[in-house]
């Protein structure tokens, strides 16, 4: 008897075991996303779930070359990037939003996926991030996202119902840099870890605190808060 060691290839030279591995990984991600959404009591369509998974896959792929995030594990991205963004959705008021210092599109892209009726401008000063976002917008077929390469203080195009950011270390920095962006009734939405009340007192622009919401992000270790501010 002559043994034959065969290497079956399909498609573009991808071996069957590789394809099975990819399908297993995606299945695990779908199961985890379903569990996280259920825990957060967030209901979205199957198409939106797939877009979120596809976004994580794109981020993981680009991250290997462009170092867009320190989170390397796609399943960890579901918690630290996707769910950490989605839990903000319920608290947004208005239709026009800008995500300042968006990085690789966070929280802007996940929020845009589950809010197709709202418009999101994603602003960042680093070219590789905006290049990634443009690619993600094209791949995910998002029609409500506008990527902008600019420094925040130089962006004067329009005003918004809401200014979002996870990028600023302090509320004072966020308000100072972004004060020109909200419209008359617009709000600042700052995603923070621990909430320090004295941060609001240190803001040197005329603003008022509207709300502080303790966010519940399933499977995330550590506190998360959404601080909502408005101009006086």
| CATH number of residue 187's parent domain | 3.40.50.150
In a domain? residue 149: yes
pTM of the model: 0.90
Nearest in space to 83 (alpha carbons), one of 122, 117, 121, 114: 114
Q: How many C-beta neighbours within 10 Å does residue 222 have?
A: 8
Task: Give residues with Cβ within 8 angstroms of 28, minimum separation 6.
Answer: 75
* Short-list 193, 231, 226, 192, CA closest to 211: 226
Dist. CA 102–CA 55, nearest whole Å:
15
Known binding residues for S-adenosyl-L-methionine: 101, 106, 152-153, 166
The CA-based angle 186-116-35, given to 5 degrees, is: 105
Tens-digit pLDDT profile for residues 67-124: 999 999 999 999 999 999 999 999 999 999 999 999 999 999 999 999 999 999 999 9
* Residues in CB range of 108: below 8 A, 6 or more apart: 85, 97, 99, 102, 120, 122, 145, 164
Whether residue 171 is predicted with pLDDT greater than 60 in this model: the reply is yes
Rounded average pLDDT over 175-195: 97
- Name the pLDDT band for 125 (thresholds 50, 70, 90): very high
- Domain membership flag for residue 22: no
Residue with tokens 């240190």: 202
Residue that is written with structure tokens 């621990």 in the block: 194
Instruction: Confirm whether 193 is domain-assigned.
Output: yes
Say how far apart CA 107 and CA 116 lie, in whole Å.
14
Whether 18 is covered by a domain: the verdict is no
Confidence of residue 15 (pLDDT cuts 50, 70, 90): low
pLDDT of 192 above 60: yes
Split into its structural domains, the chain has a count of: 1
- Whether residue 23 is contained in a domain is answered as no
pLDDT digits (tens, 9 = 90+) for 30-40: 999 999 999 99
> Is 32 in contact with 117 (CB distance < 8 Å)?
no
Res 8 pLDDT > 60: no
pLDDT band at 131 (very low <50, low <70, confident <90, very high): very high
In a domain, 5, yes or no: no
Q: Is residue 3 part of a domain?
A: no
Greatest distance between any 2 Cα atoms in the chain: 87
Percent pLDDT > 90 in the chain is 87
Question: Between residues 21 and 77, which one has the greater pLDDT?
Answer: 77
Q: Does residue 2 sit within a domain?
A: no
Q: What distance in Å separates the CA atoms of residue 44 and residue 34, rounded to the nearest whole number? A: 10
Give pLDDT, residue 2: 40
Summary mean pLDDT of the chain: 92
CA-based radius of gyration for the chain? 20
User: Bridge partners of 9?
Assistant: 15
Evaluate if residue 4 carries a pLDDT over 60: no
Cα 53 from Cα 98, distance rounded (Å): 23
Q: Domain of 97?
A: 28-231
Residues annotated within a binding site? 101, 106, 152-153, 166
Terminal C-alpha separation, the chain: 87
């Amino acid at each position: 008897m002559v043994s034959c060691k065969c290497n079956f290839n399909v498609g573009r030279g991808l071996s069957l075991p590789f394809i099975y591995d990819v399908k297993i990984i995606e299945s695990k991600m779908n199961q985890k996303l379903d569990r996280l959404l259920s825990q957060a009591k967030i209901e979205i369509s199957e198409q939106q779930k797939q877009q979120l998974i596809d976004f994580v896959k794109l981020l993981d792929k680009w991250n290997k070359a462009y170092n867009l995030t320190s989170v390397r594990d796609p399943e960890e991205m579901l918690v630290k990037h996707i769910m950490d963004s989605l839990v903000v959705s319920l608290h947004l008021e208005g239709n026009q939003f800008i995500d300042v210092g968006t990085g690789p599109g966070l929280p802007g892209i996940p929020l845009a996926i589950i809010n197709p009726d709202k418009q999101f401008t994603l602003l960042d000063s680093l070219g590789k991030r905006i290049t990634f976002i443009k690619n993600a917008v094209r791949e995910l077929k998002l029609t409500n996202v506008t990527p902008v390469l600019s420094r925040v203080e130089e962006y004067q195009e329009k005003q918004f119902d809401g200014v979002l950011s996870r990028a600023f270390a302090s509320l004072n920095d966020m308000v100072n840099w972004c004060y020109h962006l909200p419209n008359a009734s617009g709000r600042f939405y700052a995603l923070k870890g621990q909430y320090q009340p004295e941060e609001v007192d240190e803001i040197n622009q005329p603003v008022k605190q509207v709300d502080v919401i303790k966010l519940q992000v399933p499977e995330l270790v550590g506190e998360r808060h959404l601080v909502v501010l408005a101009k006086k």
